[in-house]
Chains A and B, each alone.
Chain A
Amino acid sequence: MSSISIAQFHKVFFEESLEGLDAMESALLALDDGGDAELVHSIFRAAHSIKGGSATFGFPDMAALTHEAESLLDQVRDGRRAIDKSIIELMLRTVDCLRGMFDRAQSGQPLADADSENLKQQLAAAVGHNTPAAAAKIAAKPAASSGWIIHFRPHAGMLAGGNDPLRLLRELAALGQLVVEAQLDRVPTLDALDPSECHLGWRIELTGAVSQDAIKTVFEWVEDECDLTIEPLVVAAPPPAPAVEAVAAPAAGAGGAAGTARNAAASSNDAGSVRVAIDKIDGLIDLVGELVITQAMLDQFREDFDASRLALLQHGLAQLARHTRSLQESVMGIRMLPIGSVFNRFPRLVRDLSQKLGKQVKLDLVGEHTELDKTVLEKIGDPLVHLVRNAIDHGLEMPDKRRAAGKNEVGTLRLEAFHRGGSIVVEISDDGAGLNREAIVAKALQKGLIKSGEGLSDEAVGELIFQPGFSTAAVTTDLSGRGVGMDVVRRNVVDLGGNVAIKSRAGQGTTFTITLPLTLAIIDGLRAAVGGECYIVPLVSIVESVQLPADAVRSVTGGGELFRFRGEYLPIVRLHQQFGCADARQQIEEGLVIVVEADGTQIGLFVDELVGQQQAVVKSLEANYRRVDGISGATILADGSVALIVDVAGLIRLQSRRKAA
């Protein structure tokens, strides 16, 4: 049974251990910057959990390595050893090594390799014992006797600590024949008695082939809480064969479990899981309870309903709607995880990169607790890594250059996450040199992306680096020159339903702003009719909807249409043209223009009319059909028909491409 029941917790163990390693790493890096003792505790805690877990879940190699690391940390924690660079370095290597072990564990490969063995030796050497930790304990030969006399007098506080002599005597009774004599000489008066204190003592005769160790085991927990003597009843020669002794053999049981467990973990690797805080689950259970009550309330109307109770029914339905909505939010909340888990990998990255490049970088992380949908979180890591690499490689200058520019030699790189409306915003900003306008324009001209650099706004120049095939590196380094361009970063973010925008000021720095949806699964939208079809426009993108007179629209050369909105001319995208809908209204004054915004750009979407607001459960169009420009997904309406969800950012990009062409 143990192998089956243990294996199912491997996945959770892997996940939490990897999180623990992340925490260990960031604490080590903070310690490197001169952190406090609490950091050592948290590092120790992480190592300790991994050690305990790996031993329990059948990964002895991992447990052995962590054991050495823990011993070293213990010395630091106790103040027996001062923390220094070499220990931090050793610990960082341990973190990396353990990550590798977890990788191998997940794919069912042997955990230990030459590196891990080597590291273990080094840790052991640092701790000060080169002999293997599991030095053979020479078990004391159990003294044996045909029986024992035990004098047992608990200290007053033993009972309150949960050790009941009744239990201890029952355990002794399981070993052999007992004769128990209680000693009542020290009991107080009834008035003076505190029932939680023990004033009794016992003389116990235990007969049978019982080892002294077996008796000591019974009293193991109370050694310090009682007066105890164990004497042989009759001295006898030791029996020829060693007495049966229960030796705990966890290694054998757990080791056997490892094989099956690994298979199980490997086969379910892709399923993915979310760790959920208990209070979130409690909240859900409460809500379901509310729902059940409401349902029971509404159920009454089935039996017995007349018009006089209409108000009550309406009240019940409103309550049902409210609970359903809260339940939906709570269920969505389960998928939400703090972005800190992604941010945590950056201190190490920044440290390594800046050392390699000879730059000095201070990393500020803000808003680590901001929660994101798990899917978004998993996919946002790579784009962020790319942007951070870029910022250090191209954005921040070398110390001498910074000094020459009158700046602090230490550059600042700031990662910040926060909520804005229905979105999550992640900003990556540096106080470096800003975009090199000349280099970008020159490159764009060379690549034929633009015809002339004149009159291009800073924004437009910034946009250029997101164009496919554009490489920002004036000098390609091994850091950024990896064939992944900013176009891929944008593409990844857009695939998540988000957007990337850039703002740069010469000499002052660059800020990338990533806007992400709170969740991918559900959006709030307005339902718009176009011909016989229905489109959902995400509410977050909508600025306003306006009805325009025919003369408010100007045609421009090249076939585009513009209208004036709050002092600016915005292009109009006719959805019926974009998506080829038949029987749609053609005259501007007969329909509606919805002003939408993405990436700081606004356009007008021309539709027949707005039908209403609704929540749409997003279904992937790609998964069920194929990718369509201007459409981010589909949803199923209450009547069972399908509505497409408009990809506002995509439409804006299409529009600007059209304009540029």
Chain B
Amino acid sequence: MGAKSKSETRVSMPADCRMADVGELHTQLKSALGGSQIVLDGTTVDRVDTAALQLLVVFQHEARKRERQVQWAGVSAPLYDAASQLGLAEALALPAKKPA
């Protein structure tokens, strides 16, 4: 899925981003850590749960430890709301402003 340019790895989150469907995302995130620049795309996320957000939190932790650069290409409103509600917006390094 991730389109590569130089060492930039792009990971797109699925529209239904919940426990039963995050296996694929987990795999992608693991392999994304191989690159130095990682772009997370959460534009199309429609449904998300704590399991998926925890996965992203763990990923961000790991990325910071390994000094990878992680950027958000987009964050959907449901993703933003859920992360804020769980107090995870900061740990996920979400943009400070809620998307329209």
Which A residues form the contact surface with B (CB < 8 A)? Answer: 159-160, 164-166, 169-170, 173, 180-182, 184, 187-191, 193, 195-196, 198-200, 202
Contacts and interface: CB of A to CB of B under 8 A. Distances in A.
A143 to B, nearest CB: 25
Among B55, B59, B62, B85, the most chain A Cβ lie within 10 Å of the Cβ of B85
Interface in B50-95: 50-55, 57-59, 61-62, 82, 85-88, 91
A198 B86 CA distance: 13
Interface of B: 19, 22-23, 26, 29-30, 33, 49-55, 57-59, 61-62, 82, 85-88, 91
Contact of A195 (B54, B62, B86): B54
Nearest to A160: B19
Given A159-B51, A182-B88, A184-B91, A196 B19 contact: yes
Given A160-B19, A198-B50, A173 B26 contact: no
A155 B94 CA distance: 27
Contacts of A202: 86-87
B42 to A, nearest CB: 15
Contact of B86 (A160, A169, A187, A191): A169
Given A159-B19, A182-B88, A166 B49 contact: yes
Contact of A190 (B50, B51, B59): B59
A166 B23 contact: no
Contacts of B51: 159, 164, 195-196, 198
Give the interface SS of chain B, mostly helix, strand, loop or mixed. helix
A190 B33 contact: yes
Given A182-B91, A193-B26, A193-B54, 18 more contacts: A160-B19, A166-B82, A169-B85, A180-B87, A182-B57, A189-B58, A189-B62, A190-B26, A190-B58, A190-B59, A193-B55, A193-B58, A195-B19, A195-B23, A195-B51, A195-B52, A198-B50, A199-B54
Please list the 5 inter-chain residue pairs (A to B) with the smallest Cβ-Cβ separation, ordered nearest first.
A180-B87, A182-B87, A190-B62, A165-B50, A166-B50
Given A165-B86, A182-B88, A202-B86, A191 B22 contact: no
A265 to B, nearest CB: 42
Given A160-B19, A181-B87, A182-B87, A200 B62 contact: no
Contacts of A165: 50, 86
Contacts of A195: 19, 22-23, 26, 51-52, 54-55
Nearest to B33: A190
A200 B54 CA distance: 7
B54 to A, nearest CB: 6
Contacts of B62: 189-190
Contacts of B33: 190
B54 A166 contact: no
A69 B61 CA distance: 59
Among B26, B29, B51, B88, the most chain A Cβ lie within 10 Å of the Cβ of B51
B74 to A, nearest CB: 21
Contact of B85 (A160, A166, A189, A200): A166
Contacts of B52: 195
A188 B82 contact: no
Contacts of A181: 87
10 contacts: A173-B85, A184-B91, A188-B58, A190-B61, A190-B62, A193-B26, A193-B55, A195-B52, A198-B54, A200-B50
Contacts of B61: 184, 187, 190
Nearest to A193: B58
Given A187-B58, A190-B62, A164 B49 contact: yes
Among B19, B30, B33, B91, the most chain A Cβ lie within 10 Å of the Cβ of B19
A166 B59 contact: no
Contact of B54 (A169, A173, A187): A187
Nearest to A170: B85
A169 B53 CA distance: 14
B94 to A, nearest CB: 13
Nearest to B61: A187
B38 to A, nearest CB: 12
A638 B57 CA distance: 74
